[in-house]
Structure 1
Amino acid sequence: MRTDHLYIAGLAAHLPRLWPLADAVAAGRAGADQALADGWTSVSVADDTPAPELAAEAARLALKRSGLHAEDIRLVLHAGTFHQGPDGWYAAHYVQHHVLGTSAPAIGLDQGCTAMLDAARLAHDHLAHAPERSAVLVAAADNFGTTTIDRFTYAHGFGTGRGSILGDAGCAVLLSATEGPLRIRSLVQSSLSSWERLYRGTEELFPPGPAGGTPIPIGRRMGAYADRVTDRDLRRAMARELTEARTAVARRAIEEAGVTPADITRVTHVFSGHPRYPEGLLRPLGIDPARGMLDLGRTLGHLGACDQFVSLAHLLDTGAVGPGDHVLLTGNGAGISLAAAVVEILERPAW
């Protein structure tokens, strides 16, 4: 979908302390040695700061940067890939109350690693019918320092070299239909719903898993599913299907933005410690993997739904991109969901 009237008015990330992987290894943390071997150098750790507060901190800064007022925000969308607080409680309202203090509707999204890109599509449709100068706040955050997930070993059990660890962060973006130094030129979404079992493995749907207690074994779930696919040709076909679907979504985003791969200055994506991921993502598009975010990601860990917009904020804040540049944002997550967008830098943000 081409998006001629969707602007980023404010953007911010909130990153807590970095824990060097060498220190995690010295502390005897299980899985830290493998993470270090996979290329990670540190991981973002929020200690006991709740995930919704990480999102709120990012949202406060994004709002300040945007120059908008709380009353301009007509919708709040909040995402987290894992538990945000007590069961039966919804974090979107925490962000709305503690950042805006208004009566804007607040809605939570359960879309995993593509949630912020999916939220941008919902914001686009909302703004098409909203009063002039309206804006949408999109926020996301996770704190993986709980007993329900292990940041270093969550992906173990699904083949070798997956190379993923989890970092904590909050991020937020203010989207407007009328103003902003960045413009979202296109948004494309897709899914491979036939793969939904990959992330639940052999586990039953009922009763649903408890919020606390035993760790969530995502890697082992995926391994259990893959073990059922004993036909090697079928397994290769599945891997090819994911690669081709991911490439097709990104290529459509580039085409619908009216640019070419040569016009893409940088690419933000799911963080990985190993270069195989950006290479597999970008080479089929004809984009040099060096335009990805491997080095930044290695210092933070995979940040759930925040990778793409934390990367974009980093590129802007460090001056790595400027007016006239185009940034491709890509994501794939549980489901399997796929999303991509092209952002054009119109002017250097005042912040």
Structure 2
Amino acid sequence: MRFPTPLRIAASALWLPERREAVADAVHAGRIEPDRAARNAYTEIPVSDLAPPQMAVRAGRTALAESGVAAEDVGLLVHAWTYYQGQDYWQPVHYIINELELPNALPLGVDLGCNGGFAALEVMACRLLCDPATHSAVLTTAERFAPPRFDRWSANFDAVYGDAATALVLDRERGGYEVLSTASKAAPEFEIMYRGSTPWGTGAFQHRPKVDIRATLVDFLASGGGQRFAAVAGDAVRSTVTSALEQAGIATDDARVRVIAPPRFGAELIDRSYISVLAGLTKAEVLNLGARTGHLGAGDMAANLADITAAGRLQPGEIGVLLSATAGFSWSCMVLRAV
């Protein structure tokens, strides 16, 4: 999708708790296998004592303060998440709007797994383009992968999960980045990879005591679907990048394309599914920004932009490419230009 009038990202924020769990300590305690820890190449993982919506409020306050956008000018707040938000049968987005004191913001929640942050920003962009009365919109994400139902170290093979919140402010006129285009691709035939053969239930954790992604992945690989999935996933990553750049009017070999930021998966998965797949397509550096955070669920995209901004990786006129993906499966790409 090409934006006829580029919108601006006025601010991005990453909120991390102070407490950390070191990977070396987790290996010593037997919480993660040494070889898997080495393949993922994380060094530490943030662990929060706050509920996710409380974290989202902190990130939102930071982003709003940095953006210069007045509270009354925010017409939409979209909150995205992947895991439990701290209360049963309850929508966290209303709490976040209330705590941020946004009197004119309408609420929207996005539950699209790890691609939720991307989907939320795309919805925000469409609202701003279609509704002249909406001048600014806010995206928040927040995750807390807490025991006993979620073991951040053993739930998955290719990622360890960190607690964090992120926020973005999208505006018609102000901000250091223009959103030029987006592209997505889905392969829903692979939804079974995370569902497995477990019977349908009537409540959470009826059949397993905790989230166990490894079990469903093992079932899927045993069925012989791994090779086809790898081919589809590689094509999806490459085609979304190519499509988004094309829609933005930017050649893949344009020297202005400086960085590509994939999700904060383990290092081996990033190398296999992003660096090797995109090799030779662009001149950009493929970043790995999650070594000290782990995978942040729906927050990877916004967290990557916050870190890119803090490090000054994009100068005016240069292009950044943000990638997102979720099990189920879908892959997405967003192209930004620093201004």
| Superposition TM-score, scaled by structure 2 size | 0.91
- Equivalences for residues 297-312 of structure 1 within 5 A: 297-312=290-305
Gap regions ≥5 residues in structure 1: 157-162, 347-351
Matching residue of 1:20: 22
Moved more, 197-206 or 272-281: 272-281
Matching residue of 1:114: 115
Percent identity over the alignment is 27
1:265 aligns with 2:243: no
- Equivalences for residues 275-314 of structure 1 within 5 A: 275-285=268-278, 286-287=280-281, 291-294=285-288, 296-314=289-307
Pair 235,210 (structure 1): closer, same or farther in 2 beyond 3 Å? closer
Matching residue of 2:183: 188
Pair 12,329 (structure 1): closer, same or farther in 2 beyond 3 Å? same
Matching residue of 1:207: 202
Moved more, 68-77 or 262-271: 262-271
In 2, distance between residues paired with 1:289 and 1:128?
A: 32
Matching residue of 1:5: 6
Q: Contact 1:51–1:142 at 8 Å: present in 2 too?
A: yes
Q: After the TM superposition, which segments of 4 or more aligned residues of structure 1 sit over 6 Å from their partners?
A: none
Q: Contact 1:78–1:107 at 8 Å: present in 2 too?
A: yes
Matching residue of 1:96: 97
Query: Which of the residues 211, 223, 235 maps onto 1:216?
Result: 211
- Post-superposition Cα deviations, 1:223-281, rounded to whole Å, max 9, x if no partner, equal 22332x24xxx542232112112211121111111113333211111113324424531
Q: Contact 1:87–1:211 at 8 Å: present in 2 too?
A: no
Task: Tell me by how many angstroms 1:204 deviates.
Answer: 2.4
Q: Which amino acid aligns with 1:255?
A: E
1:240 aligns with 2:234: no
- Post-superposition Cα deviations, 1:297-337, rounded to whole Å, max 9, x if no partner, equal 11110111111221111111122222111110111112102
In 1, distance between residues paired with 2:208 and 2:65?
A: 39
In 1, distance between residues paired with 2:273 and 2:209?
A: 33
1:61 aligns with 2:62: yes
Pair 87,55 (structure 1): closer, same or farther in 2 beyond 3 Å? same
Q: Secondary structure at the match of 1:300?
A: coil
Task: Tell me by how many angstroms 1:290 deviates.
Answer: 8.0
Task: Tell me by how many angstroms 1:33 deviates.
Answer: 3.4
Moved more, 101-110 or 142-151: 101-110
Q: CA RMSD in A?
A: 2.2
In the alignment of these two chains, the number of paired residues is: 333
Matching residue of 2:146: 145
Pair 113,121 (structure 1): closer, same or farther in 2 beyond 3 Å? same
Q: Contact 1:253–1:340 at 8 Å: present in 2 too?
A: yes
In 2, distance between residues paired with 1:101 and 1:70?
A: 5
In 2, distance between residues paired with 1:131 and 1:116?
A: 23
| Superposition TM-score, scaled by structure 1 size | 0.88
